[in-house]
C-alpha cells in the first residue's frame, strides 16, 4: 500500500530543475502571440483597421464585410505562428475557461484543401452548451448556446490554436458566462463615471475600470500529488496531520526561491509575456511551497481574461516541471490559504487615476468624490460583496485569522480618515461663505500625492485603500475575478448615478457646484461611517464591534449567497442593465448547486479514503502489533507477557478507539448525506450539506490524523504534509 507513496517520494528526491531557454530579451517577446493593435495595423486594410479600433474603444459593431477582413487577417497572422485550429474561448459559470477547437483546414475538392476562416466563424459560434451550468435557463431540449466575439480583448495563439475571447449566451439571449455581465458592468461604470467627471473636466469621454490581480498558489510535486486522491479530486488535502514545522518560523516568505521552482516560473512567465500578460512580480508567500505572481494592472476586462489565461498556463507549465499547481483557497489545513487580491481603480481617457490624490484642491476634490462614493457603494452593498466572493473553498479562508474576515469593511488609513472626519464636521449647513469654502478646499488640497507607505497598510481588511486604488483582498485564489468585478463596478455605477442626481438637484436650486459636491460628500461620509474600520480585522473585538454596528457576518456560503435573491439587489442589477432577474436567479442557483456538489464530493472522498486507504493501513499495523504481543505472551506466559507488551497493548487500544470513532462518524455522515440528497430545493439542500454533512469533516479528520501519528510511517499510504510542503 505505502510503497506507492515511498516510490513517489524517491522520485521527488531524484528530480532536477528543467531549464528552458528563450531567445532574445523579454521585452522583445512581449505580446508576440497576440493579435494586438500593432499587428492589426500591419495585417488589415486601413478602413478595416479603423473600424476595428472603433469597435475596441467604443464597442461599436463591425459589419460583416469588415468582420470578414479581420477574420482573414487573423487567420493569416495565426498561420505564421503555426496555428492549425481556432477556438472561441469563453468563461462559463463553472469558473474555468472552455474551448472547442475547429481546424482552419477545409477540403475543397479531390485532393485539394485550403485554410479557411471568415467573419461568420469569427463573430459567432454555436457550441453544444448543454453540459455547462445554466441554472435552469436553458431547457435541456434546447441545448444551443452561442458564443460571440469580444473584440475588446485581443485574440491570441496558444500552441497551435488561435483563441478568440468570446461571451456565451443562451439561445434566448441570457448570459451564461462571466464576461458578458462584466462587459455590461464596465459599460455602466464608464457612463456613470464620465458624467461625474464632467464636474471637474469636460474633456473626459471615457472611464475605464482597472484591475491588477495578485495570484497566490501552491506547488506540489506531481508524484506526491498523484498519491493523494483528495488533492486530485477536490484540490485540497482532506486528511493530513500538520507537520512539526509549519510556517511559524516565517522563513519561507520572501525567502530565496528554490531552483526547480525558479525554472518553472521562468517558463510560465515567459509564456505569459508572449501572450501579452505583463507579469512582473514573483515571490514566495507565507506558507511553505506557496508562491505569488502579479502583473501590472490593465483595463478590467483584459486583466480578467489574462488572469483566466494565467491560471490555465500555471497548470499546463507546472506539469512540464513535474509539479502540480494548487489554486484551491485552502489546500492544507494549518498553513495559510491562497487569495487573489483584486486591486481596482477607475482611470480616465485623459490619463487620470480617479483614486489617486491630486496636486491641487480641484483635482483632490475629484479624488475625494470618487473615493467617498466608493466607500458609500461598499456600505450600501456589503452583502453583495460578501456574496460575490463566497464559495465552498473560500469558506475555509475567510475569518480564519489569516485572511480577511467574512465581515465586509473598508480600511482607508489614518490620514484619510482624518480628512473625512473634517469634512463631516466642517461643511457648514446653509449657504457657505467664500472664506469657509476656501479654507475647506485648502485643506483638501493638502492631501499629499503619495499617501500610504507599506507600513500603513492594514492586511487584515477585506477592502483596503492602498494609496491610489482599493484592494479587494477577500477574493479567492481559484475564483474568476469577474464575479467580484461585476459587483464592484455595478454598485459603483449605481452610486455615482445617485450622486450625480443629488448634486445636480442642489445646483438647480442655486448652490455653487463645489459647494453642492462638498455637501453631498458630507452626507455620504456620515451615512457610510459604519463600514469604515481601521483596527485589527482578525480580532474577536471586531466581530463584537461589527455586530454592534449592525454589519453582517455570514460565515458560510449558503448564507452569503442569499443576497443574490434580495429584492433590492435584483432591482439594482436589472436597472443597471447588468443582469436580468432571471439571469441573477440562475446564477444564484448555480452557486448553491456548486456548493452542494463540492461538499458532496469531499464527503464521498472522505468516506472512500477512510475505507480504502486509511483503514487497511491501520489494520495491517494493528496485526503486526498483535502478532508481536502474541509472540511475547507465548514466550513469557500470559501475565509476564502482558507486562512486557504494555506499550504495544496500549497502542492497540488507542488505535482501536480512533479507528472505531472515525468509522462510526463516517457512517453517521453517510446517513446525513443520504438525507440531504432527498432535498430538491437548491438553497435548502446547500444548507443541509453545510449544517448536517460538513459538520462531521473535522471529527473524522481528527481521528484519521491521530492515526497518522500512530501508524508506522512505512505503512501510511497518503503523502504527508511535510513531504508535500517541504520538498521541491
Ligand atoms: P502589494 O499589494 O503586494 O503591496 P502593490 O501595491 O505594488 O503590491 O500593487 C499590487 C497590485 O496593484 C499590482 O498588481 C499593481 O499592478 C496593481 N495596481 C497598481 N495601480 C493600480 C491601479 N490604478 N488600478 C488597478 N490596479 C493597480
Ligand atoms: Mg496585495
pLDDT in tens, 303-321: 999 999 999 999 999 999 9
- pLDDT-derived band at 455, boundaries 50, 70, 90: very low
Is the beta carbon of 297 within 6 A of some atom in ligand 1?
yes
Q: Are 369 and 521 in contact (CB under 8 A)?
A: yes
Please give the Cα distance from 13 to 598 (Å, whole number): 33
Ligand at minimal distance from the CA of 356 is 1
Q: Are 474 and 390 in contact (CB under 8 A)?
A: no
| pLDDT exceeds 70 at position 141 | no
Of all residues in the chain, the percent with pLDDT exceeding 90 is: 73
Is the beta carbon of 465 within 6 A of some atom in ligand 1?
no
Please give the residue that has the higher pLDDT: either 192 or 422. Answer: 192
Q: Residue range 578-606: average pLDDT?
A: 96
- pLDDT-derived band at 58, boundaries 50, 70, 90: confident
**pLDDT at residue 95 in the model:** 81
Is the beta carbon of 243 within 6 A of some atom in ligand 1?
no
* Nearest Cα residue to 219 out of 259, 159, 272: 259
Q: Are 349 and 206 in contact (CB under 8 A)?
A: yes
| pLDDT exceeds 80 at position 709 | yes
**pLDDT at residue 1 in the model:** 45
The mean of the pLDDT values for the chain is 91
| pLDDT exceeds 60 at position 279 | yes
* Nearest Cα residue to 193 out of 572, 439, 490: 490
Q: Residue range 573-595: average pLDDT?
A: 96
Q: What is the DSSP letter of 696?
A: G
Please give the Cα distance from 634 to 626 (Å, whole number): 12
Half-sphere exposure of 452 (CA within 13 A, CB side): 21
Q: Residue range 336-345: average pLDDT?
A: 95
| pLDDT exceeds 90 at position 708 | yes
Ligand 1 atom nearest 457 alpha carbon: 4
Q: Residue range 249-266: average pLDDT?
A: 75
Please give the Cα distance from 250 to 247 (Å, whole number): 5
Query: Where, residue-wise, is CATH 3.30.590.10 in the chain?
Result: 186-594
| pLDDT exceeds 80 at position 456 | no
Ligand 1 atom nearest 468 alpha carbon: 23
**pLDDT at residue 454 in the model:** 47
**pLDDT at residue 182 in the model:** 98
- pLDDT-derived band at 444, boundaries 50, 70, 90: confident
Q: Which of 91-105, 193-207, 303-317, 330-344 is least confident?
A: 91-105
Among protein residues, the one with the nearest Cα to ligand 1's atom 26 is 212
Q: Residue range 133-138: average pLDDT?
A: 71
Sign of CA dihedral 396, 399, 404, 406: positive
**pLDDT at residue 86 in the model:** 94
Is the beta carbon of 456 within 6 A of some atom in ligand 1?
no
Please give the Cα distance from 309 to 261 (Å, whole number): 20
* Nearest Cα residue to 185 out of 209, 159, 212: 209
Half-sphere exposure of 85 (CA within 13 A, CB side): 12
Pocket test for ligand 1, best of 214, 304, 338, 343 (most atoms within 8 A of CB): 343
Give per-residue burial for 429-451: e unless 16+ CB within 10 Å, then b: eeebeeeebeebbebbbebeeeb
Query: Where, residue-wise, is CATH 3.10.20.70 in the chain?
Result: 31-176
Is the beta carbon of 466 within 6 A of some atom in ligand 1?
yes
Ligand 1 atom nearest 297 alpha carbon: 16
Is the beta carbon of 353 within 6 A of some atom in ligand 1?
yes
**pLDDT at residue 726 in the model:** 85
- pLDDT-derived band at 451, boundaries 50, 70, 90: low
| pLDDT exceeds 90 at position 694 | yes
pTM for the whole structure? 0.95
Among protein residues, the one with the nearest Cα to ligand 1's atom 3 is 214
Q: 680 C-alpha to center of ligand 2: Å?
A: 41
| pLDDT exceeds 70 at position 665 | yes
Assign a CATH topology to domain 31-176: Ubiquitin-like (UB roll) (3.10.20)
Ligand at minimal distance from the CA of 473 is 2
Q: 341 C-alpha to center of ligand 2: Å?
A: 6
- DSSP-assigned states of every residue in 447-477: S-SS---GGG--TT-SEEE-SSSEEE---BT
Query: Where, residue-wise, is CATH 1.20.120.1560 in the chain?
Result: 595-726
| pLDDT exceeds 70 at position 504 | yes
Indicate left, alpha or beta for 334 from its phi (over 0: left) and psi (-120 to 50: alpha).
left
**pLDDT at residue 282 in the model:** 79
Instruction: Output the CA angle 347-348-354, nearest 5 degrees.
Output: 50
Is the beta carbon of 212 within 6 A of some atom in ligand 1?
yes
Is the beta carbon of 345 within 6 A of some atom in ligand 1?
yes
CATH number of 595-726: 1.20.120.1560
Q: Residue range 40-65: average pLDDT?
A: 90
Residues at Cβ < 5 Å from ligand 2 ion: 214, 341
Give domain 186-594's CATH architecture: 2-Layer Sandwich (3.30)
**pLDDT at residue 128 in the model:** 65
- Give the contacts of 316 (CB within 8 A, at least 6 positions apart): none
- pLDDT-derived band at 505, boundaries 50, 70, 90: very high
- pLDDT-derived band at 243, boundaries 50, 70, 90: confident
Q: 612 C-alpha to center of ligand 2: Å?
A: 42
C-alpha dist (Å) from residue 435 to 137, 271, 513, 608, 700? 60, 59, 16, 76, 70
**pLDDT at residue 84 in the model:** 94
What is the number of residues in the chain?
728
Is the beta carbon of 296 within 6 A of some atom in ligand 1?
yes
Q: Residue range 142-164: average pLDDT?
A: 89
Amino acid at each position: 500500500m505505502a510503497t506507492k507513496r515511498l516510490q513517489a517520494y524517491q522520485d521527488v528526491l531524484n528530480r532536477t530543475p528543467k531549464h528552458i531557454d528563450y531567445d532574445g530579451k523579454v521585452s522583445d517577446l512581449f505580446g508576440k502571440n497576440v493579435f494586438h493593435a500593432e499587428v492589426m495595423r500591419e495585417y488589415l486594410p486601413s478602413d478595416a483597421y479603423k473600424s476595428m479600433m472603433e469597435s475596441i474603444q467604443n464597442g461599436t459593431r463591425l459589419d460583416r464585410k469588415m468582420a470578414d477582413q479581420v477574420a482573414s487577417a487573423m487567420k493569416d497572422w495565426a498561420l505564421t505562428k503555426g496555428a492549425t485550429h481556432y477556438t472561441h474561448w469563453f468563461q462559463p459559470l463553472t469558473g474555468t475557461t472552455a474551448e472547442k477547437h475547429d481546424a482552419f483546414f477545409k477540403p475543397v475538392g479531390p485532393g485539394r484543401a485550403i485554410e479557411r476562416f471568415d467573419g461568420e466563424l469569427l463573430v459567432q459560434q454555436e457550441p453544444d452548451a448543454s453540459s455547462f451550468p445554466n441554472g435552469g435557463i436553458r431547457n435541456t431540449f434546447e441545448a444551443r448556446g452561442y458564443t460571440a466575439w469580444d473584440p475588446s480583448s485581443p485574440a491570441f495563439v496558444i500552441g497551435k490554436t488561435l483563441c478568440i475571447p468570446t461571451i456565451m449566451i443562451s439561445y434566448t439571449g441570457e448570459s451564461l458566462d462571466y464576461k458578458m455581465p462584466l462587459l455590461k458592468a464596465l459599460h455602466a461604470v464608464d457612463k456613470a463615471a464620465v458624467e461625474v467627471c464632467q464636474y471637474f473636466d469636460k474633456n473626459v469621454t471615457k472611464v475605464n475600470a482597472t484591475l491588477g490581480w495578485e495570484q497566490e498558489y501552491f506547488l506540489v510535486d506531481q508524484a506526491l500529488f498523484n498519491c493523494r486522491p483528495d488533492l486530485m479530486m477536490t484540490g485540497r488535502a482532506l486528511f493530513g496531520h500538520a507537520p512539526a514545522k509549519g510556517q511559524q518560523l516565517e522563513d519561507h516568505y520572501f525567502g530565496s526561491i528554490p531552483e526547480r521552482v525558479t525554472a518553472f516560473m521562468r517558463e510560465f512567465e515567459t509564456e505569459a509575456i508572449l501572450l501579452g500578460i505583463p507579469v512582473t512580480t514573483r515571490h514566495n508567500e507565507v506558507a511553505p511551497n506557496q508562491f505569488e505572481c502579479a502583473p501590472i494592472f490593465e483595463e478590467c476586462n483584459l486583466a480578467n481574461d489574462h488572469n483566466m489565461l494565467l491560471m490555465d498556463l500555471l497548470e499546463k507549465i507546472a506539469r512540464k516541471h513535474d509539479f502540480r499547481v494548487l489554486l484551491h483557497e485552502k489546500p492544507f489545513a494549518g498553513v495559510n490559504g491562497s487569495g487573489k487580491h483584486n486591486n481596482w481603480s477607475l482611470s480616465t481617457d485623459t490619463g487620470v487615476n480617479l483614486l489617486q490624490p491630486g496636486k491641487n484642491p480641484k483635482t483632490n476634490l475629484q479624488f475625494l468624490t470618487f473615493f467617498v462614493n466608493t466607500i458609500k457603494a461598499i456600505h450600501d452593498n456589503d452583502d453583495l460583496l460578501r456574496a460575490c466572493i463566497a464559495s465552498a473553498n473560500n469558506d475555509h479562508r475567510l475569518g480564519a485569522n489569516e485572511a480577511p474576515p467574512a465581515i465586509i469593511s473598508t480600511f482607508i488609513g489614518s490620514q484619510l480618515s482624518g480628512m473625512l472626519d473634517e469634512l463631516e464636521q466642517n461643511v457648514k449647513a446653509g449657504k457657505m461663505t467664500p472664506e469657509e469654502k476656501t479654507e475647506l478646499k485648502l485643506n483638501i488640497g493638502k492631501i499629499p500625492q503619495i499617501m500610504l507607505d507599506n507600513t500603513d497598510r492594514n492586511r487584515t481588511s477585506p477592502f483596503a485603500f492602498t494609496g491610489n486604488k482599493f484592494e479587494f483582498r477577500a477574493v479567492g485564489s481559484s475564483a474568476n475575478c469577474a464575479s467580484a468585478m461585476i459587483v464592484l463596478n455595478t454598485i459603483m455605477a449605481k452610486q455615482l448615478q445617485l450622486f450625480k442626481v443629488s448634486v445636480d438637484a442642489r445646483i438647480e436650486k442655486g448652490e455653487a457646484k463645489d459647494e453642492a459636491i462638498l455637501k453631498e460628500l458630507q452626507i455620504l461620509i456620515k451615512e457610510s461611517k459604519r463600514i469604515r474600520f481601521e483596527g485589527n480585522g482578525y480580532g474577536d473585538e471586531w466581530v463584537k464591534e461589527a455586530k454592534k454596528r449592525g454589519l453582517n457576518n455570514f460565515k458560510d456560503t449558503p448564507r452569503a449567497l442569499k443576497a443574490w435573491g434580495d429584492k433590492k439587489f435584483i432591482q439594482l442589477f436589472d436597472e443597471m442593465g447588468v443582469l436580468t432577474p432571471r439571469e441573477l436567479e440562475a446564477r444564484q442557483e448555480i452557486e448553491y448547486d456548486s456548493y452542494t456538489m463540492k461538499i458532496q464530493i469531499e464527503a464521498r472522498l472522505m468516506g472512500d479514503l477512510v475505507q480504502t486507504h486509511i483503514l487497511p493501513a491501520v489494520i495491517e499495523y494493528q496485526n503486526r502489533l498483535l502478532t508481536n504481543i502474541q509472540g511475547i505472551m507465548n514466550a513469557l506466559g500470559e501475565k509476564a507477557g502482558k507486562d512486557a507488551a504494555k506499550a504495544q497493548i496500549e497502542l492497540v487500544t488507542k488505535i482501536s478507539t480512533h479507528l472505531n470513532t472515525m468509522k462510526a462518524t463516517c457512517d453517521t455522515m453517510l446517513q446525513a448525506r443520504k438525507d440531504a440528497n432527498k432535498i430538491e430545493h437548491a438553497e435548502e439542500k446547500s444548507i443541509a450539506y453545510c449544517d448536517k454533512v460538513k459538520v462531521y469533516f473535522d471529527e473524522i479528520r481528527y481521528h484519521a490524523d491521530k492515526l497518522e501519528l500512530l501508524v508506522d510511517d512505512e505503512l501510511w499510504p497518503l503523502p504527508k504534509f511535510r513531504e508535500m510542503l517541504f520538498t521541491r
